């Protein structure tokens, strides 16, 4: 039986309330680390956890109940299916799956319905990319759960991914490039970062990883973070000039003020600030799209685009070559009409 809450709380114990008015308990000694105490106040689980923290140990976390989302997710993370995913894919899916667990970890897997997945997708309607990642992550998880016998059907079946009508990240224009270069001259970190992105066409996560160790005979070689595909990109004269002017890090071209490698997240944040300072409201991915468009205009084939940008299956490459070819056909048709007049 759970005891009533005493007038005076045990030492270092603090109570807070969630937005749903549910009490939660934390242990904090002075200005030390705050530790969440699980369970209901006065329960066996609560008292054991409090005693453990009071004696300097971390509270033992009770295993999730069998059949719940949390239990299934724990087994999924320990599965061969999960281990086979690339680290970048794991990172993106874990973010989604853990977020669902925080809200619905105690729900029973067999109670999930198609409408629950559709509701989760629609909840993220304001950010189509997040909605798409939610559906894809849940689809992979429940496909494994079905194979593992944890559910009798996959609730994601029939749930559509709604494509964004915005066209995604806007590609940089020639005016954007000129504005950025005018603001950030050669010899600045900002200029090095831009030329690495523009001249290689690499994703942000790969751009922050490359440096002189990746260059041999003036060719950058690496396995891409997202797909694992190996790419080989010649170092252009423009990029070579930016690298020579520096500053660059010892291991990576894009580096912090201390010359250390940067995470793609921290680089993305600061690069946005550099773009804003140049009056350019675009993203790093927009540079990649502009590079792919320029290469398609220069006559790169689908296979050549796949090789440079680390794509597979020709789908992305075909998108760029098809767009460019349609533009060329349209211009050629207009020229023929004009010549007849």
- DSSP one-letter string for 122-168: HHTTTSHHHHHHHHHHHHHHHHHHHHTTS-SS-TTTTPPPPPPSS-S
Say yes or no: 46 and 75 in one domain. no
Say yes or no: 192 and 263 in one domain. yes
Task: Tell me if 336 is assigned to some domain.
Answer: no
Rounded average pLDDT per 10-residue block, the chain, 341 residues: 65 84 86 84 84 79 84 95 89 92 92 94 88 94 96 94 66 90 95 93 90 92 84 91 93 93 90 93 84 76 74 66 63 61 58
At 4 the pLDDT is: 59
At 1 the pLDDT is: 44
At 332 the pLDDT is: 60
Q: Residue 143: exposed, middle, or buried by beta-carbon count in 10 A (0-12, 13-18, 19+)? A: middle
Number of domains observed in the structure of the chain: 3
Say yes or no: 321 and 180 in one domain. yes
Q: How far apart are CA 235 and CA 300, in angstroms?
A: 17
Identify the three-state secondary structure at position 315: helix
At 140 the pLDDT is: 96
Task: Tell me if 156 is assigned to some domain.
Answer: no
Task: Tell me if 162 is assigned to some domain.
Answer: no
Segment 243-274, tens digit of pLDDT = 999 899 999 999 999 999 999 889 989 999 99
Domain-terminating residue out of 47, 62, 77: 62
Handedness of CA 148, 154, 155, 156 (dihedral sign): positive
Q: Are 305 and 291 in contact (CB under 8 A)?
A: no
Say yes or no: 48 and 190 in one domain. no
Q: Tokens standing for 172?
A: 């940089």
Q: Are 104 and 69 in contact (CB under 8 A)?
A: yes
Say yes or no: 226 and 193 in one domain. yes
Task: Tell me if 21 is assigned to some domain.
Answer: yes
Task: Tell me if 50 is assigned to some domain.
Answer: yes
Say yes or no: 201 and 279 in one domain. yes
Q: How far apart are CA 120 and CA 62, in angstroms?
A: 27
At 48 the pLDDT is: 84
Identify the three-state secondary structure at position 219: strand
Say yes or no: 192 and 270 in one domain. yes
Q: How far apart are CA 328 and CA 336, in angstroms?
A: 12
Please count the other Cβ atoms lying within 10 Å of the Cβ belonging to residue 35: 18
Say yes or no: 309 and 196 in one domain. yes
- What CATH number did the domain enclosing 310 receive? 1.10.443.10
Say yes or no: 185 and 314 in one domain. yes
Outline where the chain has alpha helix (H): 44-54, 69-77, 80-83, 87-104, 114-123, 128-147, 174-183, 189-200, 204-207, 237-245, 264-277, 284-297, 302-309, 315-340
**CA-closest candidate to residue 252, choices 204, 186, 299, 304:** 204
Domain-terminating residue out of 101, 128, 147: 147
At 6 the pLDDT is: 63
**CA-closest candidate to residue 27, choices 10, 43, 39:** 10
Say yes or no: 38 and 98 in one domain. no
pTM above the 0.95 mark? no
Segment 299-335, tens digit of pLDDT = 777 777 777 777 666 666 676 666 656 666 566 656 6
Q: Tokens standing for 258?
A: 């201390």
Q: Tokens standing for 208?
A: 């922050």
8-state DSSP, 250: S
Task: Tell me if 158 is assigned to some domain.
Answer: no
Segment 62-72, tens digit of pLDDT = 678 889 999 99
Domain-terminating residue out of 33, 62, 91: 62
Task: Tell me if 187 is assigned to some domain.
Answer: yes
Say yes or no: 322 and 182 in one domain. yes
Say yes or no: 130 and 80 in one domain. yes
List the domain range (segments joined by +) for residue 27. Answer: 1-62
Task: Tell me if 16 is assigned to some domain.
Answer: yes
At 22 the pLDDT is: 81
């Amino acid at each position: 039986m759970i005891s009533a809450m005493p007038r005076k709380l045990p030492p270092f114990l603090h109570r807070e309330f969630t937005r749903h008015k549910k009490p939660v308990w934390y242990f904090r000694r002075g200005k030390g680390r705050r530790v969440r105490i699980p369970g209901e106040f006065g329960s066996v689980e609560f008292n054991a956890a409090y005693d453990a923290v009071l004696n300097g140990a971390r509270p033992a976390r009770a295993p999730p109940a069998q059949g719940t989302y949390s239990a299934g997710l724990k087994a999924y993370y320990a599965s061969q299916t999960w281990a086979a995913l690339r680290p970048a894919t794991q990172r993106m899916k874990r973010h989604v799956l853990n977020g669902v667990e925080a809200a619905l970890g105690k729900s029973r897997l067999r109670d999930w319905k198609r409408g629950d997945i559709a509701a989760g997708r629609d909840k993220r309607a304001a950010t189509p990319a997040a909605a798409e990642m939610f559906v894809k992550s849940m689809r992979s998880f429940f496909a494994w759960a079905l194979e593992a016998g944890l559910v009798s059907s996959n609730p994601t079946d029939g749930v559509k991914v709604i494509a964004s009508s915005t066209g995604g990240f806007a590609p940089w224009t020639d005016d954007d490039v000129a504005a950025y270069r005018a603001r950030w001259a050669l010899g600045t970190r900002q200029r090095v970062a831009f030329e690495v992105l523009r001249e290689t066409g690499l994703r942000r996560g790969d751009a922050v990883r490359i440096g002189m160790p990746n260059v041999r005979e003036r060719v950058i070689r690496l396995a891409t973070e997202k797909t694992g595909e190996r790419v080989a990109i010649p170092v252009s004269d423009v990029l070579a000039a930016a690298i020579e002017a520096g500053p660059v890090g010892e291991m990576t071209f894009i580096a912090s003020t201390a010359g250390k490698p940067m995470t793609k997240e921290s680089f993305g944040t600061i690069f946005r600030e550099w773009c804003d300072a140049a009056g350019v409201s675009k993203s790093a991915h927009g540079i990649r799209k502009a590079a792919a468009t320029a290469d398609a205009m220069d006559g790169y084939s689908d296979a050549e685009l796949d090789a440079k940008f680390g794509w597979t299956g020709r789908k992305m490459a075909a998108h760029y070559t098809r767009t460019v070819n349609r533009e060329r056909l349209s211009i050629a048709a207009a020229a023929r009409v004009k010549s007849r007049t």
